Structure 1
Amino acid sequence: MALTTRTLRDDADRILVLRNPKAGAGASRQILDGVIEQLRDRRYQVDIFTDLDQVTEETVRLNERGELRTVLAAGGDGTAEVVVNRIPLGTPLSILPLGTENLLAKYLGVTGDPVELANTIENGVVGEFDLGRLTAAGRSSYFLLMMGCGFDAEVVRRLHADRTGNINHLSYIKPIFDSVRSYDYPPLRVITRNEPEGPILEEITAHWVFVFNTPSYAIGLGICPQANPYDGRLDVTTFNGGSFWHGLFHLSSIIVGQHNNLSGVNSIRARCIRIESDRSVPFQVDGDPGGGLPVDIETIESRLSIVVSREWIEHKATNESE
């Protein structure tokens, strides 16, 4: 399935930047300043915000007037997710990776090079990607990359509960060790459908569950490399085994790329997924705490609009034709 694209309006010359003051440090501000300088050299009017309410108001106003070229999320994956949840769907989003992982930017081939990013905003196209939407405790929100329920979600919960400043890879060491000692892998029920009230495709029990929109996961782990964010489906990968040793075995199999050959691993594609448990179990969304089970997840097809380079589009088309 090919990615749907559209061109940006030539006369849309307003760019809104949301800067996350907590994302990155040191050189990050210099990179952002370089991007803004490049955009202004191209005669775009650039406004910088740290207040989400202001970004939302300006996005609506400029969209109505046909003047908005893009909203630029300057931060990590969490910044991009927050922006998408606050602006109208269909608004062109651009990414400046200044966070810890920057998984979405890596997938889209976006670097922190100011000239490259400015060229993409000037000459690129808008790709229409799928969104994930989850509902828990009566509240709904969108996600861009993936959600997980199990050991990794417990690590994320502990990390953010003790967070005092910027997060880097070393920040994960203590919550990982704490989770290894105490997490007991409660059973999770996974129910998949292609419509919210449609017939059940599969109903399985697992101890670790991932739902992917894109194939991206932290530190480059290829848990679900076949996930495609423009095929109208979410990819579910589940792991069985309710102990630390099972978890370690599965992690080792992921690292060597052999987990999909194991009997305790299931891969499912569906539009709608429900995850529930008899226990209080947390889940994480795009690397941030998402809440607790039960949770309902569905794909929203072709509603995430991201500005991408023409070279990236050509590269994807070449790979898909091979």
Structure 2
Amino acid sequence: MDQALPPQSLPSDADLVMVLHNPRAGRRSSQRRLERFLRAIEAYGYRVEVSTDLAQATEAANRRHERGDLRCLVGLGGDGTALELINRSSPGVPLLLFPAGTSNLAASHLGISKNPQAVAQLIHDGRILRLDAGSANGRLFLVMASCGFDAAVVETVHRRRMAGYRGGHGSFLSFIGPIIKLMRTYPFPELSVTYSLDDQSEETAIGPVAWAFVFNLPKYGWGLPLTPKADGTDGQLDVCTFARGGVARGLWYTAVSQLALHPGLPDCRLARARRIRITAAEPVSYQLDGDPGGALPLEIEVLARRVQVVVPPRTAAKWKSRTLDTESVPVQAGEIRDDKPS
């Protein structure tokens, strides 16, 4: 298993902060938070460039990183904004996730505050943490991938936002209508899942199943603990599947998982792997970090230490302590551990 690298300080000789502002993220405008954030950054003496153009911001950040004067690239938005940044920024560009979206799963897990002054302080004294990323059919994700019912909901909500619903802003309430509609119509097609350590290892098959999730970080929805041991720095991805489809069964899985009792279910499977393949005999959607990803088949692999994120010192200290604990009792190379209790 790849050992996680200890967190590092931001480059002391870099003074340029690039800010990508997603004005459509979250339930309401984040313009005032942006203005407060910019004032706080400038008080530290850093230069700031702001853009609402994703391509422009990431291209400029990549160039300035190569020149050596980029301190970090800030993404003011939600998990969708973070998803775009990790896919468009060059490896090594420090990313700071300023949570302003609907769920902000990645920023929440990293301990990043929504307070503009607190986020500005991270630019001054934050630490760089190297996180793994998942690659799903070549597209990176930071938190999780899933397919089936929840991906169909994400796809429906996304279409409504792009059509101008609620001015393009999102909220948890925007999921209620699509969920109710799909509860009546979704067919819950069978999924086949295989996983392995790498290209040379023997594959293990799971299936047929109705629900399939792959996690890099242990965050989902409102905090449903499907894979609470997912680490983000261990060079592996955590897989969770449930065998039976249907709305009633889905509600049951949700309730049991909220109580962290799902590992004991005979139709739940938990495993860790570096490569995962998910297929279906009919078209099935998948989603990445809350954004539509496409349709199966899906090939997923882990990219160790692919993303550099800026985190609070307390988060860095926690991860460093976790790394030392892991090194004291190492996982054997080539081992894929099944979390299902005996």
TM-score using structure 2 length: 0.89
CA contact (8 A) 1:194 1:201 kept: no
Secondary structure of 1:221's partner? coil
Over aligned residue pairs, what C-alpha RMSD do you find?
A: 1.7
CA drift at 1:90: 1.5
> Residue 142 of structure 2 aligns to which amino acid in structure 1?
L
Percent identity between the two aligned chains:
38
CA contact (8 A) 2:198 2:274 kept: yes
Secondary structure of 1:162's partner? helix
Partner of residue 116, structure 1: 118
1:261-320 Cα offsets, whole Å, 9 max, x none, are 100000010000000000111111101111100010000001110011111122344567
Q: How does 1:59-138 map to 2 (within 5 A)?
A: 59-135=61-137
CA drift at 1:226: 0.9
CA contact (8 A) 1:96 1:110 kept: yes
Q: How does 1:265-280 map to 2 (within 5 A)?
A: 265-280=268-283
> Residue 54 of structure 1 aligns to which amino acid in structure 2?
Q
CA distance in 1, matches of 2:171, 2:57: 27
1:207-248 Cα offsets, whole Å, 9 max, x none, are 100000000111111111111100000000000112222212
Partner of residue 45, structure 1: 47
Partner of residue 297, structure 1: 300
Secondary structure of 1:85's partner? helix
CA drift at 1:8: 1.6
**Cα distance, 1:317–1:60 mapped onto 2, change above 3 Å:** closer
Partner of residue 197, structure 2: 194
CA contact (8 A) 2:192 2:208 kept: yes
CA drift at 1:118: 1.6
CA distance in 2, matches of 1:50, 1:81: 15
Secondary structure of 2:7's partner? strand
CA contact (8 A) 1:193 1:202 kept: no
CA drift at 1:161: 2.5
CA distance in 1, matches of 2:146, 2:120: 34
- Equivalent position to 2:290, from 267, 287, 292: 287
Higher mean Cα deviation, 267-276 or 194-203?
194-203
Q: How does 1:22-33 map to 2 (within 5 A)?
A: 22-24=24-26, 26=28, 28-33=30-35
Unaligned runs of 5+ in 1: none
CA drift at 1:257: 1.8
CA drift at 1:52: 1.8
Higher mean Cα deviation, 17-26 or 311-320?
311-320
- Equivalent position to 1:19, from 10, 18, 21: 21
**Cα distance, 1:262–1:110 mapped onto 2, change above 3 Å:** same
Partner of residue 148, structure 1: 146
**Cα distance, 1:264–1:203 mapped onto 2, change above 3 Å:** closer
Partner of residue 221, structure 1: 224
CA drift at 1:53: 2.1
> Residue 103 of structure 1 aligns to which amino acid in structure 2?
L
CA drift at 1:204: 3.1
- Equivalent position to 1:158, from 151, 156, 159: 156
Higher mean Cα deviation, 27-36 or 89-98?
27-36
1:157-215 Cα offsets, whole Å, 9 max, x none, are 22222332211111011100111001121110001011135421344321100000000
Partner of residue 205, structure 1: 208
CA drift at 1:2: 4.9
CA distance in 2, matches of 1:22, 1:114: 18
CA distance in 2, matches of 1:170, 1:302: 35
Partner of residue 243, structure 1: 246
CA distance in 1, matches of 2:187, 2:173: 24
What number of residue pairs does the alignment pair up? 318
Secondary structure of 1:46's partner? strand
CA distance in 2, matches of 1:26, 1:76: 12
> Residue 174 of structure 1 aligns to which amino acid in structure 2?
G
CA distance in 2, matches of 1:279, 1:37: 52
CA drift at 1:26: 4.7
CA drift at 1:156: 1.1
Secondary structure of 1:157's partner? helix
Unaligned runs of 5+ in 2: 327-342
1:12-51 Cα offsets, whole Å, 9 max, x none, are 0001000001013556221121111111111110100111
